[in-house]
């Protein structure tokens, strides 16, 4: 690692990476190619193997099988501190007895940079995240958002080629999360670093990412841009994970609702916004609950003992207990 100027982003490639803990295959034969300079998210429910995959890239965890490449270099057997990666953790992992500046300087001192290089890099990193005024402040007196930015400055200061984020916004409240998300995106764009981001929050992944890999039970089930995944999910799992969906397995109901006749054993996924309410000749449904969300209202419908979610424009009102006809002609897909 140089101590002078800019680093060049490098891509990351995993080839057939697996990692078990006892009987559990936490990561199961994962292969993925993450382009240099891109913002790439690993998205999936709790326990699907996202963090373990990220830790394997950072070198904090070793794979049982498979290889890890950063740029052209096979780093599988390279120690974590010798890899060109920096990690930003969920709890920030800041040293509580140190100031902001000391926290940012820490990794640079470990790398044995000269005092003047440490000083200039700390100032530069703090400037990039708009925290230069806080250099002498103890981290314990910072807000959550400021701690988050300090953690980011600490990662940026070591001039990594790849920056790894493990749910870095989950400790922030909703408003700050949105703001920090926008800052993070802008910063990533400015620095042009390859960013790999772990989250279970689909909205966050969609807002930030160039590409998303959706994980389930240790495997990557689909990779694509947010739009591709949203518009062309290739399984009901991906559809329901991105944007929410009604997943139906009752062939009769599917046929009455959508007009499609699924082959046996398949499930069908229908997005809430693709259910048309008040449709003539549709299936009869009862509105059992509604939640006003501003732009939209979410209706919970009961049809033949099943619950479905539909979305209608926020200015439209359909009271609870109303019986309506519902159909859906769009975005029905078989789970493969």
Of the candidates 94, 112, 111, the one whose C-alpha atom is nearest the C-alpha of residue 103 is 94
Residues in 155-214 at the binding interface with ligand ATP, rule: CB under 6 A: 200
280 neighbors 325 (Cβ within 8 angstroms): yes
Q: Which helix (H) or strand (E) holds 87?
A: strand 85-88
Task: Find the shortest distance in angstroms from Cβ 26 to ligand ATP.
Answer: 3
* Of the residues 18, 38, 41, 51, which one makes contact with ligand ATP according to CB under 6 A: 51
φ and ψ at residue 166, rounded to 5 degrees: -110, 95
Task: Find the shortest distance in angstroms from Cβ 186 to ligand ATP.
Answer: 26
Minimum CB distance to ligand ATP smaller for 24 or for 293: 24
Minimum CB distance to ligand ATP smaller for 18 or for 297: 18
Q: Is 280 exposed, middle or buried (0-12, 13-18, 19+ CB in 10 A)?
A: exposed
* Of the residues 38, 52, 150, 269, which one makes contact with ligand ATP according to CB under 6 A: 52
Stretch that binds ligand ATP, among 50-58, 133-141, 231-239, 299-307 (CB under 6 A): 50-58
18 neighbors 64 (Cβ within 8 angstroms): yes
What ranges make up the beta strands (E) of 122-226? 162-166, 194-199, 211-216, 219-224
Nearest-angstrom CA–CA distance, 112 and 178 = 37
Minimum CB distance to ligand ATP smaller for 48 or for 238: 48
- Tell whether residue 292 is a contact of ligand ATP (CB under 6 A): no
162 neighbors 193 (Cβ within 8 angstroms): yes
CA 284 to chain centre: 38
Minimum CB distance to ligand ATP smaller for 27 or for 129: 27
Task: Find the shortest distance in angstroms from Cβ 52 to ligand ATP.
Answer: 3
Minimum CB distance to ligand ATP smaller for 41 or for 51: 51
Task: Find the shortest distance in angstroms from Cβ 51 to ligand ATP.
Answer: 3
Minimum CB distance to ligand ATP smaller for 172 or for 303: 172
Residue with tokens 């479905």: 308
CA distances from 98 to 124, 130, 209, 230 (A): 19, 19, 33, 44
Of the candidates 86, 121, 101, 85, the one whose C-alpha atom is nearest the C-alpha of residue 3 is 121
Residues in 18-47 at the binding interface with ligand ATP, rule: CB under 6 A: 21, 24, 26, 44, 46-47
Task: Find the shortest distance in angstroms from Cβ 217 to ligand ATP.
Answer: 9
* Of the residues 49, 59, 101, 262, which one makes contact with ligand ATP according to CB under 6 A: 49
- Go through the chain and tell me how many residues it has: 336
Question: With contacts defined by CB under 6 A, how many residues of the chain interact with ligand ATP?
Answer: 12
Minimum CB distance to ligand ATP smaller for 20 or for 296: 20
- Tell whether residue 48 is a contact of ligand ATP (CB under 6 A): yes
Interface ranges with ligand ATP (CB under 6 A):
21, 24, 26, 44, 46-52, 200
């Amino acid at each position: 690692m140089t101590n002078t100027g800019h680093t060049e982003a490098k891509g990351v490639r995993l080839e057939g990476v697996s990692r078990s803990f006892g009987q559990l295959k936490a990561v199961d034969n994962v292969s993925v190619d993450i382009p240099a300079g891109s913002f790439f998210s690993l998205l999936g429910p709790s326990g699907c193997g996202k963090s373990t995959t990220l830790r394997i890239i950072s070198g904090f965890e070793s794979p049982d099988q498979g290889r890890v490449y950063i740029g052209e270099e096979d780093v599988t057997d390279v120690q974590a501190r010798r890899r060109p990666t920096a990690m930003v953790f969920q709890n920030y992992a800041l040293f509580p007895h140190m100031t902001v500046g000391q926290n940012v300087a820490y990794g640079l001192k470990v790398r044995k940079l000269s005092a003047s290089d440490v000083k200039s890099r700390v100032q530069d990193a703090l400037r990039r995240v708009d925290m230069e005024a806080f250099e002498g402040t103890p981290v314990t007196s910072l807000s959550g958002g400021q701690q988050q930015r300090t953690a980011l400055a600490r990662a940026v200061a070591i001039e990594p080629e790849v920056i790894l984020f493990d749910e870095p916004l989950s400790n922030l409240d909703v408003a700050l999360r949105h703001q920090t998300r926008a800052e993070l995106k802008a910063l990533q764009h400015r620095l042009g670093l390859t960013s790999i981001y772990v989250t279970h929050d689909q909205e966050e992944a969609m807002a930030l990412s160039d590409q998303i890999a959706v994980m389930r039970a240790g495997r990557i089930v689909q990779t694509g841009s947010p739009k591709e995944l949203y518009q062309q999910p290739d399984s009901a799992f991906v559809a329901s994970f991105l944007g929410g969906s009604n997943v139906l397995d009752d062939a009769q109901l599917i046929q009455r609702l959508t007009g499609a006749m699924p082959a046996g054993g398949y499930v069908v996924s229908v997005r809430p916004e693709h259910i048309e309410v008040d449709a003539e000749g549709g299936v009869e449904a009862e509105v059992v609950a509604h939640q006003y969300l501003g732009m939209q209202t979410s209706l919970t419908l009961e049809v033949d003992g099943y619950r479905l979610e539909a979305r209608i424009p926020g200015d439209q009102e359909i009271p609870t207990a109303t019986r309506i006809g519902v159909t859906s002609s769009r975005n029905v897909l078989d789970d493969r």
